[in-house]
Amino acid sequence: MDVNSVAAGEVEITYEASGPDMGQPVLLLHGWPDDPRTFDRVVPLLNAAGWRTIVPYWRGCGPTKFLDANTPRTGEPAALATDILAFMDALGFSRLPVIGHDWGARVAYLIAAARPQRVTSITALSVPWAPGRLGVPPLPQVRAFWYQWFMNTEPGAAFVRENPLAFAREQWVAWSPPGPWFTDETFSKTAPSLQNPDWAAITLNFYRSRWGADAPDPRFAELRQAAEEARSIDVPTLVIHGAADTCLLPASFEGQKQFFTGTYRQVELEGVGHFPTREAPEKVAEALLAHLGEVGEH
């Protein structure tokens, strides 16, 4: 595995690349609260099939850092998507297949909706998509989003700033069934990424801007608006989610196909929670390779 960094807009993004040097590149975007370790058991399977995997750390995560100490620590999805588009430009990629989990899925959807010419296909894990602005979800989903409402209060925001690792670990405990996928050692491998000095600020802005406690950043208005105005996603799409996910409830994925005019496939994994790449990496890789292969034949 190669670890490199590249300037991409207002951040210097650190990323991991592995697989055949001349292999077809595919971009993998990790979720929250997580880091590239979430793909550790998926990447080798993609590499063995000939894919060159590229896995960046988000702004506010791991060794990725802001180039200017005075840059606003915006964490909204349009800011994250802007980073990824600049990252692709910096590496010389005009168009790539994108695989995203959680935050990564939201960014994959956003780019597919607003900049479809930049992606050959997308795979979204553990997050559904619908056109327009995010509305208040059904009450069972409202209850599952407790952590988002918590961060939109001042005491909650203060707690996250003071206890980032405890807050992150609680989501791992709450969102998936217990099992060998999650041990103290597993979490300890990702914990350093969540100790980035900007992690709490980016986390809080992501969720506070979603529900109105923080104003949207005008610098990303054009991309944000383009995504909100999209009525459908036209690029080939694979959605993978766990039937035991207690963060994004399985009911959230019902009726999704109507929003996709390109090839669309949905895979629900029994007994799996919010972290399919950690809980069922072989099944995820199998679905990914089928999807990527189909796309490559078009």
DSSP string, 8-53: ETTEEEEEEEES-TTSEEEEEE--TT--GGGGTTTHHHHHHTTEEE
Instruction: Name the 3-class secondary structure at 229.
Output: helix
Range of the domain at 280: 2-296
Structure tokens at 106: 């939201």
Of residues 298 and 174, the one with the higher pLDDT is: 174
pLDDT band at 294; cut points 50, 70, 90: low
Rounded CA-CA distance 19/262 in Å is: 29
Residue 298's pLDDT is what?
A: 37
pLDDT tens digit sequence for 178-191: 999 999 999 999 99
Q: What is the mean pLDDT of residues 252-278?
A: 97
Cβ-based neighbours of 155, under 8 Å, separated by 6 or more: none
Residue 221's pLDDT is what?
A: 97
For the chain, the average pLDDT equals 96
Residue 296 confidence (pLDDT) above 90: no
Which amino acid, 285?
A: A
Residue 257's pLDDT is what?
A: 96
Q: How many domains does the chain have?
A: 1
pLDDT band at 230; cut points 50, 70, 90: very high
Residue 295's pLDDT is what?
A: 54
Residue 297's pLDDT is what?
A: 43
Residue 26's pLDDT is what?
A: 98
CATH number, position 187: 3.40.50.1820
Q: What is the mean pLDDT of residues 139-168?
A: 98
Residue 141 confidence (pLDDT) above 70: yes
Residue 134's pLDDT is what?
A: 87
pLDDT tens digit sequence for 194-206: 999 999 999 999 9
pLDDT tens digit sequence for 21-74: 999 999 999 999 999 999 999 999 999 999 999 999 999 999 999 999 999 999
Cβ-based neighbours of 243, under 8 Å, separated by 6 or more: 250, 268, 269, 270, 271, 272
The helix, strand and coil proportions of the chain, stated in percent and rounded to the nearest 5, come to 45, 20, 35
